[in-house]
Chain A
Amino acid sequence: MHTTIYSARKIITMNASRPNATHVAVRDGRILGVGSLDELKGWGPHELDDRFANKVLMPGLVEAHAHLMAGGLWRYTYCGYFDLRDPDGRNWPGGRTLEAVIGQLSSSSARQADGPLLGWGFDPIYFGDQRVSRNDLDRVSTARAVGVLHASGHILNVNSFLLEKAGLLRAGVEHPGMPLGADGLPTGELKGPDAMTAAFAIVGLDRSFLSGDEFGVRAFAKLAVRAGVTTSTDLAATLLEPELDSLLSITAEDDYPLRLVPLLRLIGMTPTQAVERSVALSSRSTERLRLGRIKVVADGSIQGFSARMRWPGYFNGAPNGLWYTAPETIRDCYTLALQSGVQVHTHTNGDEATELALDCLAAALKAAPTRDHRFNLQHCQLADAAQFRRMKALDMCVNLFANHHFYWGDQHYSTTVGPERAERMNACATAQRSGVPFTIHSDAPVTPLGPLFTAWCAVNRLTSSGRVLGAQERISVADALQAITLGAAYTLKLDHEIGSIECGKRADFCVLDDDPTEVPPEQLKDVRVWGTVQGGRVFQAPQLA
């Protein structure tokens, strides 16, 4: 029965009854106590560990909306505009011009003997009006397939070789997702999931890619350590047996540093099958793999114009988006899940999708009255104040996409939803005023995993052009830190185990070099993460140049 007491410069506990401390005692991977050294000595023999004496400890951060694919993508070439560190801590400088991106891809092409070449994280909106075509990517290679996935995940640029291989380098292609050049041939810009899937297999992004391979599961965990994250969801998993076996065995390894919460996506099965599968999965949960939740996707995305909008629709007049799941299916799923005690998280981007989810849950609760179900709306970007009041009335939680403001807020302001609704997007302050339990997320790999950055977004609401978008919806640093710890844990029904540093909970800590409550709010994103402690095990993030 070994006890370790860690000293720290400061411990931010997120426990309101004892908010700060200097020492935390850990036994069997759990928190024995938090307080002063004198108080903790009462637990008996212990080892005093001073390695964090100059660090600040927080509860391990909880990312309630990310995808394991954020790890797997590091197999491929990063083509983003902003600098980004890979799972091993190496910095990949952003490509600030199209030339720079082509240069990065060309270097990768030179290093790689054969096979398709894939880039990701591309975001040419920062290059002005410049459109990227197959001719640009032909400069990388004319002898291998080259594809570059945009950061939004909604567009794939490909080269001529790939188009030829897909049988698409021909006249007469008619598809709204495949613009044609002056020569009548596709330009190589594939927009939307339908057009992109025509090329996915050729660039190596086949169906199995999404289910998180071994490399991806490990790489994702390294990203988590770097971000101070000790628990993360994988928000849309298929959880077939081979994938499950792989997740069970990897997460059981002694040095796997993350608690994973994969959600079963309601696709390819009926609501009955999904609920039965979730109940069965739930009993196979382990300490580091938490199973038994369902994800439903109601609509598409706002920047892809596939989100379902209420009147008056898109600011630029684009037609309304698409339902990804039928209303009847959502309602049936909710009812069955309530009856079986399975938690459901529903992706809604547009406010009509949110309204539908609220209607469906209201109906389901009549059929299966349930307390404390904590059904979540995920993204829920456009909800208005009345919808937040309904969420409260229905006992819902919400996970808002704070990072979106920084990356796409300017587009939402000018094009997709217009100024007024752009300012109310991801309304953390309204959620708080309405009493709706909430958290905030990255949706990695759509935006980088990093809850402190996400907290910075919710606190400052700055866009990449520097505009404050929706000053009234900013929240305090303390509330943002709550959202990425105990708040997130609550939405996952894990708040009795994680999310705060207090007696009895898991010894999950985020280890920081700086104090997030002391730095100016606009520097919250720059707080340095040393690593994590997960279940009492210490993981230092690699420190590379």
Chain B
Amino acid sequence: MTARPADVLTPTLIVGGYLGAGKTTLVNHLLRHADGRRIAVMVNDFGELTIDADLIEGADGCVLALAGGCVCCSFGSDLLGALQDVLQRQPPPDLILIETSGVALPAAVARSARLLPGLSIEGIVLMLDAETVRQRSADPYVGDLVRQQLLDADLLILNKTELCSPTTLAELNAWLPSMTTAGTPVVPANQARVPPELVLGFHADWAANPDGATGDALARWAAQPITHPITPPIAAAADRFVNELLELTAPLDPQQLLAALTTPDAGVVRAKGWLTDLAGQRHLLQQVGRRIELQPLAPDARPPGPDRLLVIGLAGVYRYGQLLLNK
């Protein structure tokens, strides 16, 4: 295991959503398709999260050891303490998923997690129960909470769509933009089965595999043709998502690229890559829905190969190559 460069922060995602939205199902799905990533799942408590039994290899107090080097930690009322503990694990996690309690405000959790040096909070993925979200948003007790969760989200996964009629779904799709922050993409899902890269992003240990060794999803992506259906296991996703590898052949103004990526009609749901700005500084770019993090790379950081950007877009919305045309 190569030590990761000091400037590489641990990518961290917040998975929020009200009770019954499918957060647990999503987490299990992601753990099953970790594809070599060492994921640390942080949960409020083991009571609410039922990790599939066949994934659990052992238990030690607040930590469950899971298949493939993943762990699940319960944090109770001390998220920061638990995060500090998990960052000190050897080997360290490639990625942290914080599953918030159903009544938590994900943005508040993100603000707290940002207090810890060492984490890069990439964004808030909010699970919604397509059947009940509208009703919940008007509930006298939790309506304000559900509405705030919607506003906090960077990326929405509209789950349980298989239980809704086409009319209901059409109404939901018309309603959601009025409840969310502009530019928040909505990804429909059935039993939380979304392409894992949508949440997990691309492999975080790219710096340890500068030549794109096997097992590196990013390298695998890079080896693919410019456009292709998203990788299995979710064959059904092929008609909902597209992806593109953008080769960034020259320095560019990051602000212009950021603006292009986050335009609501760009249809970008996830992106990762690195670029060189006009002053010659290289940056790591991570996008989750409407949120983009741009972090300058240390001079000795070793991104694999030339500047490029991997984008997952919504089929029918995302237009190939359009982002670069905006330069």
Q: Which residues in A have some Cβ–Cβ distance to B below 8 Å?
A: 166-168, 173-176, 178, 193-195, 197-198, 200-201, 206-207, 267-270, 273, 308, 320, 322-329, 352, 356
Contact = CB atoms under 8 A, between A and B. Distances in A.
A207 B76 contact: yes
Given A323-B145, A326-B101, A207 B78 contact: yes
A267 B141 contact: no
6 contacts: A174-B114, A207-B77, A324-B103, A326-B18, A327-B142, A328-B19
Nearest to A176: B111
Given A201-B84, A267-B76, A322-B105, A273 B114 contact: no
Contacts of B20: 328
B77 A193 contact: yes
Contacts of B142: 323, 326-327
B79 interface: yes
A168 B111 CA distance: 13
Contacts, number: 79
A308 B84 CA distance: 31
Contacts of A323: 103, 141-142, 145
A273 B46 CA distance: 11
Interface of B: 18-20, 44-48, 74, 76-81, 84, 101-103, 105, 108, 111-112, 114-117, 141-142, 144-145
A207 B145 contact: no
Nearest to A328: B19
Contacts of A320: 144
Contact of B115 (A175, A193, A201, A322): A175
B112 A269 contact: no
Given A268-B74, A322-B105, A323-B145, A194 B81 contact: no
Nearest to B74: A268
Given A175-B111, A320-B144, A352-B141, A267 B77 contact: yes
A356 B145 CA distance: 15
The secondary-structure label for the interface of chain B is loop
Nearest to B18: A326
B77 A329 contact: no
The secondary-structure label for the interface of chain A is loop
A200 B76 CA distance: 14
A175 B103 contact: no
A200 B75 CA distance: 14
B51 to A, nearest CB: 14
Given A197-B79, A327-B141, A167 B101 contact: no
A209 B78 CA distance: 12
A194 B111 contact: yes
A329 B84 CA distance: 29
B45 A269 contact: yes
Contact of A325 (B80, B103, B144): B103
Contacts of B84: 201
Contact of A197 (B46, B81, B101): B81
B40 to A, nearest CB: 18
A178 B80 CA distance: 15
User: Which 5 pairs from chain A and chain B are nearest by CB?
Assistant: A268-B45, A269-B47, A323-B103, A194-B112, A167-B117
B103 A173 contact: no
A332 to B, nearest CB: 10
